[in-house]
Amino acid sequence: MTDAPAVHTDHLTKVFGSLTAVDGVTFDIARGEVFGILGPNGSGKTTTIRILCGLLEPTSGSATVAGFDVLTESEDIRRNIGYMSQRFGMYDDLTVAENVDFYSSLYGLTGAEKRQRIAALFDELGIAPRSSQLVGTLSGGWKQRVSLACAIAHQPAILFLDEPTAGVDPAARRSFWETIRTLANGGTTIVVTTHYMDEAERCGRIAFLSRGHLIALGTEDEITRQFNQPTIEDVFIELQQKDEGVIA
């Protein structure tokens, strides 16, 4: 199975009432790839991510993540992935150490293995000095680091990042992406949604969504040539204007 894609979608569709949020999206993500999903507000980025994380059922179509079916094996998917959203998803009234300990336990880590892994994460991400601080009192940049520690405690094969740097300062963004690049170099598949164009350019390939449709898929050069635009940012602006939306 090593040659199988980390993520495969085939005409993936999600309908909410009269709204088709994701409409027939098909793509593969290779193992170890850094894959970006871009698009204006309402384009279906977060819905796609949530389906792939086993948090939403598709209306039709199919998808596999780490070899597991999103419809019938969502629990297996959640055990094999890490997920980090722009809301971070931590408990503000628990300390940094308590949050990481809790999520490590959820992912099945126990005893000496858990203690060693948490110590390694605190060292790698530089969060040891904040271990006893309540998460609710942290800045956005520190919350980002702790949230990432929670998401990768179990060393997942695939890491989903939904707008992970929203609301953090440029220095924290740079540090975060250095960590992401290290994870990717170690073989972790990274799937990220972002509205920062410099982050999109860090992705090996990009999927552009517009009103739930996949309208472009490829490298930065391939997409800019397709739209006859000089940069990814110009492509984004063109799509944004067509959708009469705002940056998501």
**Quick one: pLDDT at residue 31?**
95
**Per-residue tokens: 236:** 């984004």
Total domains in the chain come to 1
Angle at alpha carbon of residue 108, lines to 106 and 114, rounded to 5°:
100
Instruction: Kindly report the CATH number assigned to the domain that includes residue 186.
Output: 3.40.50.300
**pTM exceeding the 0.85 threshold for the entire prediction:** yes
Q: What is the pLDDT of residues 180-232, one digit of tens each?
A: 999 999 999 999 998 788 888 899 999 999 999 999 999 999 999 999 999 98
**Per-residue tokens: 239:** 């799509």
Examine residue 114 and state whether it is found in any structural domain, yes or no: no
**Quick one: pLDDT at residue 61?**
98
CA distance 159 to 162: 10
Mean pLDDT of 113-124: 95
Examine residue 149 and state whether it is found in any structural domain, yes or no: no
Q: Where is pLDDT greater, at 142 or 41?
A: 142
For the cut 90, the answer to whether the pLDDT of residue 149 exceeds it is: yes
Average pLDDT of the chain is 91
For the cut 60, the answer to whether the pLDDT of residue 125 exceeds it is: yes
CB 234 within 8 A of CB 242: no
State the pLDDT confidence band at 88, using cuts at 50, 70 and 90: confident
**Quick one: pLDDT at residue 38?**
92
% of the chain with per-residue pLDDT over 90: 76
Q: What is the pLDDT of residues 38-52, one digit of tens each?
A: 988 889 999 999 999
For the cut 70, the answer to whether the pLDDT of residue 245 exceeds it is: no
CA distance 236 to 216: 11
CB 148 within 8 A of CB 176: yes
Q: Which of 30, 9, 28, 12 is nearest to 20 (CA)?
A: 12
For the cut 60, the answer to whether the pLDDT of residue 246 exceeds it is: no
For the cut 70, the answer to whether the pLDDT of residue 235 exceeds it is: yes
**Quick one: pLDDT at residue 248?**
40
**Per-residue tokens: 12:** 């993936």
CA distance 138 to 135: 5
Examine residue 96 and state whether it is found in any structural domain, yes or no: no
Examine residue 33 and state whether it is found in any structural domain, yes or no: yes
CB 17 within 8 A of CB 207: no
CA distance 78 to 25: 21
For the cut 80, the answer to whether the pLDDT of residue 11 exceeds it is: yes
Q: Which of 160, 99, 183, 46 is nearest to 107 (CA)?
A: 99
CB 36 within 8 A of CB 27: no
For the cut 70, the answer to whether the pLDDT of residue 247 exceeds it is: no
**Which domain covers residue 81, as residue numbers?**
7-90+156-243
For the cut 90, the answer to whether the pLDDT of residue 71 exceeds it is: yes
Q: What is the pLDDT of residues 151-164, one digit of tens each?
A: 999 999 999 999 88
